[in-house]
Amino acid sequence: MTESSVTKYSDGESVTTAWQQDEGASGFKRTTEQMREARGKWNAKHPDAVRRYRANQEHKDSADSLPSAVNWGKPWTDHDIDVVLRNDLSAIEKALLLGRTVRAVHNRRALLVAAVLTEATR
């Protein structure tokens, strides 16, 4: 990897350097918990990079689901709601399956979760 191909962040650190300098980075024998902790530290240190990545990913997912959004503007059925609440599918998979956009899937799930939480607190 050349110096020019490595993304540098505002503090001058690259992703590779951050990983190499992280505690316990001895080879690839990290546990899932160690990986989550290291990722959390990196994300906290580089919020702009995380924001850019998430925005780009969301834009890509939305663009991928837009052509198949044949149910745009139509009422949500019970089957649609069941699919939106499933945890074994990603948002893009749900959108493609339902003929909706990724944004619609995210919004509907948030609305349903908020309704359940509101009902639980009564």
What's the CA gap between 18 and 61, in Å, rounded?
28
In a domain, 87, yes or no: yes
Considering the domain boundaries, does residue 112 fall inside one?
yes
Residue pLDDT, tens place only, 43-52: 888 888 888 8
In a domain, 28, yes or no: no
| Averaged pLDDT of the chain | 77
Q: What's the token pair of residue 15?
A: 């992703």
Residue 60 covered by a domain = no
CA-atom Rg of the chain in angstroms: 19
Q: Would you give the DSSP letter of residue 87?
A: S
Q: Say if residue 51 is exposed, middle or buried (CB neighbours under 10 Å; 0-12, 13-18, 19+).
A: exposed
Structural domain including 81 reads 69-122
Q: What is the pTM of this model?
A: 0.51
> Bridge-partner residues for 8, per DSSP?
14
Q: How many domains does one find in the chain?
A: 1
- In tens, the pLDDT along 57-82 reads 766 666 667 777 888 889 999 999 99
């316990």: which residue's tokens? 24
